[in-house]
Amino acid sequence: MKPEIRAQGSRLSSTGGAAGFTLIEVLAALVIVALGMLGVIEAVTQNAKNGSYLREKTLAHWIAMNVITERRLQPSPPDIAETSDEIEYAGERWRWTLRVSETPVESLRRMDVFVRPADAPEDEALATLTGFYGAAIGAAGGGALDWNGVPPGTGQPGEDVEEEGEDGKDGTDGTAPTDPQPGPERPDEEDDEAPTQ
């Protein structure tokens, strides 16, 4: 009997037929690979969308900050109203809306800015920013401020406040002392120096 001649690299099963993947095994492997690739493609797409959204949100926030800064640099407070404009920024068209409202403090205005792409619906603002415009009501360097005509030290506007001692009940004339109370005497500077060794 002649020995069986086998081609190099071929496999034979124990029954004598060629061994390999069946069509069903190949199809199942292809389905698994396709599902895995779909997951990878979805993750990459979601990352790209998130990056685009964050870029647009950052640009919208910068536009809102610019609008508030421009209003703060004006010499007079903005009118209490709602204004809107369309601008081009970073190669895109944007629409901003500014709402100026009163606050409990007479010299302070609240500014709310809403920014969205020009083609987006009005209620879909990408960025919302709030700022304030305040007029100086006191001298530079501090001092007591008169908020809405309220005398310092009271909570009621326009009330005259009697200071303790004006009627002489506590033995003072109602004026603050001009000289500080003398404290314990301080030793000479020579005594403060630590002895050297």
CA distance 49 to 140: 50
Q: pLDDT per residue over 18-28, tens digit each?
A: 678 899 999 99
CA distance 131 to 109: 9
CA distance 128 to 120: 15
Q: pLDDT per residue over 54-107, tens digit each?
A: 999 999 999 999 999 999 998 888 999 999 999 999 999 999 999 999 999 888
Fold designation for 21-136: Pantoate--beta-alanine Ligase; Chain: A,domain 2 (3.30.1300)
Cβ count within 10 A of residue 165: 14
Sheet of strand 92-102: strand arrangement: 82-89, 92-102, 108-117, 127-134
Cβ count within 10 A of residue 126: 19
